[in-house]
Amino acid sequence: MRLDSEQLESFRREGYLVVPGALNPAGLQPAIDEITEAIDGHAAEAVARGDLSHTYADEPFETRLWKIHQEYEDLYWSVIYGQLQGHGIFALVSNEELLDLAESVVGPEIIGSAVYRLRPKLPGHWHGEVPWHQDSGYFEPVCDDELILTVWVPFVDATVERGCLEVMPGVHKSGVVRHTQLEPGEEGRRSYLEILEEDLPGERVVATPVDRGGVVMLTNRTPHRSTPNRSDVIRWSIDIRYQSADLPTNFPPLEMARNGTSGNGAAPAGEHGPEATLTCYPPESDFLVRSRSRPEAVVRTWQEFNAIRRAHQPADSTVRWE
């Protein structure tokens, strides 16, 4: 579905939009299947090593990883974030219904970012609570004034009890505010950026519950956070990012054609400054997911998606926050 004029106006004014029934829930199944296959494999290996008593294969998707985690915590860290790059994840990030939504706000030439984030929010688990931040806090300053769309997709009904997103509406037009780097979390795991209370750009907070099949759309400058899961099921979700192909990107065919780069995100010295960054998020790869002007360059298979991610040479992000 494409956004109508009223929805577009609301998105531009508030910086977010809840879209119920945005996609057929059947479109979620390939990703669920890939996640399940990954859990199957890791669980079987853990059982073989004696780290796990059994694979919990009889548990439903909504509870299985939580049951495993109570006995063996390492498996959780093997499936979160962007570690999966196969058939199911690609089918979702290239889902035509999601691309129609993205086209409504970023235009017909769409770059998909491989910086998707898979988030199984376990009941009561410390890592599932994500503090106030703007996605631009993680991106390059050169992209601060551009639109990078996040489409937040739940695999289960995302209720307030389960820890749906909360947003701070209407303040995205004020730009990127100061973020503070938190100390690494439990066992030295990846830490978050946080907007401290004194730096928050607004006061009004809105919860965004959405049923399975719906999505939440956010700008990269919309402050948002993820609240605790107080239920007894996993709040599975994924956030996917899209941008116009006119913005900085490290997708090799576009950058090589336009700027004569090697495809690694660095322009020739002197053109944009020494080793200028030509992508909004250097650590991970981009890919062209929809194009009317360059259909031959669109990534159409999960094998191509996988190959692009594996071949990408990560570059360091600008150190913005001490």
Q: d(Cα 150, Cα 113) in Å, to the nearest integer? A: 10
- Six-digit token string for 20: 């119920």
Amino acid letter at 35? I
Q: What is the structure's pLDDT at 265?
A: 40
Q: What is the structure's pLDDT at 315?
A: 86
User: For 204-218, what is each residue's pLDDT tens digit?
Assistant: 999 999 999 999 999
Q: What is the structure's pLDDT at 115?
A: 77
Query: Which residues contact residue 41 at a Cβ distance below 8 angstroms, ignoring those fewer than 6 apart?
Result: none
Q: What is the structure's pLDDT at 127?
A: 84
Helix (H, G, I), strand (E, B) or coil at 66: helix
Q: What is the structure's pLDDT at 216?
A: 98
For 161, counting Cβ atoms within 10 Å of its Cβ (0-12 exposed, 13-18 middle, 19+ buried), the class is middle
Question: 111, 220 in Cβ contact below 8 A?
Answer: no
- Judge if pTM exceeds 0.95: no
Q: What is the structure's pLDDT at 217?
A: 98
Residues of the chain predicted below pLDDT 50: 187-189, 255-276
User: For 260-299, what is each residue's pLDDT tens digit?
Assistant: 444 444 333 333 333 445 789 999 899 999 999 999 999 9
Q: Within 13 Å and on the Cβ side, how many CA atoms surround 148?
A: 29
Q: What is the structure's pLDDT at 128?
A: 83
Angle of CA points 216, 247, 136, to nearest 5°: 50
Q: d(Cα 90, Cα 31) in Å, to the nearest integer? A: 8
User: For 136-158, what is each residue's pLDDT tens digit?
Assistant: 999 999 999 999 999 999 999 99
Q: d(Cα 288, Cα 112) in Å, to the nearest integer? A: 6
Q: d(Cα 192, Cα 95) in Å, to the nearest integer? A: 29
Helix (H, G, I), strand (E, B) or coil at 213: coil
Helix (H, G, I), strand (E, B) or coil at 217: strand
Q: What is the structure's pLDDT at 267?
A: 37
